[in-house]
């Protein structure tokens, strides 16, 4: 199964390479085996710990009606699994590999999204920053199993890649949008709102009517699914804010009973956001896995502090729609999650959906700074050449005076 999917992946990569020269087949093939290694690690983890993957497989194997499962969230995962489990007789291990592969596809399209929206290669401690971000262990661990994590990561990767060139990538937008919507509607809602806002505020060189159409499309889709989103999140349409606060307080209280609970309800908003983005950080790691994750969170923090360098606000003001969309999606989802999450174990898993939005903003900022530095250097060289040229002209015009 792993070998068959490798052959499929290689064919996909070769086809993409013909269109997108920035794709490195060597990097992506290495990433494939790396991701499958984490699939094995997660499989071993699931043997000794309770994992939702067992429930998904069991429910798919025992489902009496396939189409009755067609819905959002958990039932959508089971609905997708039924044909493979009941008709093609896939085992639990085969389903784990198949869904791990969908997570890998998400990495491929996130990689392309990063590469085609950057003008230069950004280095971090001497390493290609984009390549480094593609090999983050925690991102692979939670996207390498039968479950929502791998599928929504694939959906978001396809969706943002499509949104980079919406006129030419309608299939990617449709497929990525459907996957994201049916796995986690609120994430799709946030991306559509972010897209609508960013294309209106972005600096893309496109006619205003196209910007307006894209913005209307994104916000219109969000409005269309608004009622279903309220049902999915169990919110009262007559008092959304109050029901949201009540639900988040209840869920937060329930999650605090776990061993790795944190008292998010008593934290200020900045501390809540810091906890969601960067904890655990060694001092509060609940177990060995928490210590391992702390190392990665430290790397997140090292990237994040780059945003405090001079020029960030000027950069974000003139940034492209993709950068502004990424910032809006990351901040809006982070804000809402901080009111719900009160357990470090769940935080570690949930934030894997959105961290690449933050990384993209950071790397794009570093790319902008590098480009601006090159422009300044070129202006200095041009001024020096102009000054030298004037000196030569002056010498030629007053040769006798210069000689004496």
- Say what the pLDDT of residue 213 is: 63
Q: Which of 166-170, 187-191, 213-217, 254-258 ranks highest by mean pLDDT?
A: 166-170
Whether the pLDDT of residue 75 is over 80: the answer is yes
- Say what the pLDDT of residue 15 is: 94
Average per-residue pLDDT in the chain? 81
What pLDDT, in 10s, does the model give residues 225-284?
445 544 444 444 444 344 444 444 444 444 444 445 666 667 788 888 888 888 777 777
- Say what the pLDDT of residue 280 is: 78
Quick one: tokens of 391?
């000196």
Which stretch of 43-57, 134-148, 186-200 has the lowest confidence by average pLDDT?
186-200
Is the model more confident about 115 or about 345?
Answer: 115
Average pLDDT estimate for 294-323: 89
Specify the pairing of strand 123-124 against strand 127-128.
Answer: antiparallel
Q: In this structure, are residues 101 and 9 in contact, taking their beta carbons and an 8 Å threshold? A: yes
Cα separation of 283 and 275, whole Å?
A: 12
- Say what the pLDDT of residue 14 is: 95
Q: In this structure, are residues 163 and 194 in contact, taking their beta carbons and an 8 Å threshold? A: no
Q: Is 76 helix (H, G, I), strand (E, B) or coil?
A: helix
Whether the pLDDT of residue 360 is over 90: the answer is yes
- Say what the pLDDT of residue 204 is: 57
Residue 221 pLDDT grade (very low, low, confident, very high; cuts 50, 70, 90): low
Whether the pLDDT of residue 329 is over 50: the answer is yes
- Other residues' Cβ atoms within 10 Å of the Cβ of residue 141: 24
Closest CA to 194 of 320, 103, 347, 306: 320
Cα separation of 199 and 160, whole Å?
A: 13
Q: What are the CA-CA distances from residue 30 to residues 111, 143, 196 (Å)?
A: 13, 17, 36
Q: Is the pTM of this model over 0.75?
A: yes
Cα separation of 121 and 133, whole Å?
A: 13
Whether the pLDDT of residue 44 is over 70: the answer is yes
Question: What is the SS3 string spanning 217-243?
Answer: HHHHHHHHCHHHHHHHCCCCCCCHHHH
Average pLDDT estimate for 323-337: 84
Which stretch of 121-125, 127-131, 175-179, 299-303 has the lowest confidence by average pLDDT?
121-125
- Say what the pLDDT of residue 222 is: 53
């Amino acid at each position: 199964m792993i070998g068959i999917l490798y052959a499929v992946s290689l064919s996909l990569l070769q086809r993409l390479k013909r269109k997108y020269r920035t794709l490195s087949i060597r990097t992506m093939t290495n990433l494939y085996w790396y991701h499958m290694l984490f699939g094995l690690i997660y499989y071993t983890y699931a043997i000794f710990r309770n994992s939702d993957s067992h429930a998904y497989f069991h429910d798919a194997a025992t489902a009496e009606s396939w189409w009755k499962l067609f819905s959002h969230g958990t039932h959508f995962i089971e609905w997708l699994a039924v044909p493979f489990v009941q008709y093609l007789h896939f085992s639990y291990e085969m389903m784990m590999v198949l869904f791990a592969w969908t997570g890998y596809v998400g990495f491929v399209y996130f990689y392309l999204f990063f590469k085609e929206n950057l003008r230069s290669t950004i280095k971090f401690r001497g390493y290609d920053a984009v390549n480094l971000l593609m090999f983050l262990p925690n991102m692979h661990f939670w996207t390498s199993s039968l479950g929502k994590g791998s599928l929504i990561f694939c959906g978001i990767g396809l969706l943002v890649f499509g949104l980079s060139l919406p006129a030419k990538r309608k299939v990617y937008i449709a497929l990525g949008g459907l996957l994201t919507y049916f796995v986690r509607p609120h994430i799709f809602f946030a991306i559509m709102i972010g897209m609508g806002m960013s294309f209106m505020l972005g600096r893309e060189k496109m006619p205003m009517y196209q910007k307006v159409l894209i913005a209307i499309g994104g916000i219109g889709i969000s409005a269309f699914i608004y009622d279903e989103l309220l049902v999915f999140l169990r919110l009262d349409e007559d008092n959304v804010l109050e029901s949201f606060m009540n639900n988040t307080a209840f869920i937060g209280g329930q999650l605090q009973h776990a061993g790795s609970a944190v008292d998010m309800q008593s934290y200020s908003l900045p501390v809540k956001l810091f906890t969601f983005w960067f904890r655990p950080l060694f001092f509060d790691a609940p177990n060995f896995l928490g210590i391992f994750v702390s190392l990665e969170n430290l790397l997140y923090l090292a990237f994040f502090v780059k945003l405090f360098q001079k020029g960030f606000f000027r950069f974000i003001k003139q940034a492209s729609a993709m950068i502004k969309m990424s910032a809006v999606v990351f901040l809006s989802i982070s804000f809402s999650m901080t009111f719900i999450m009160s357990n470090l174990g769940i935080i570690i898993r949930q934030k894997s959906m959105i961290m690449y939005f933050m990384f993209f903003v950071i790397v794009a900022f570093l790319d902008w700074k590098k480009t601006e530095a090159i422009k300044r250097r070129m202006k200095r060289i041009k001024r020096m050449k102009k000054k030298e040229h004037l000196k030569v002209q002056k010498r030629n015009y007053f040769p006798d005076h210069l000689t004496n």
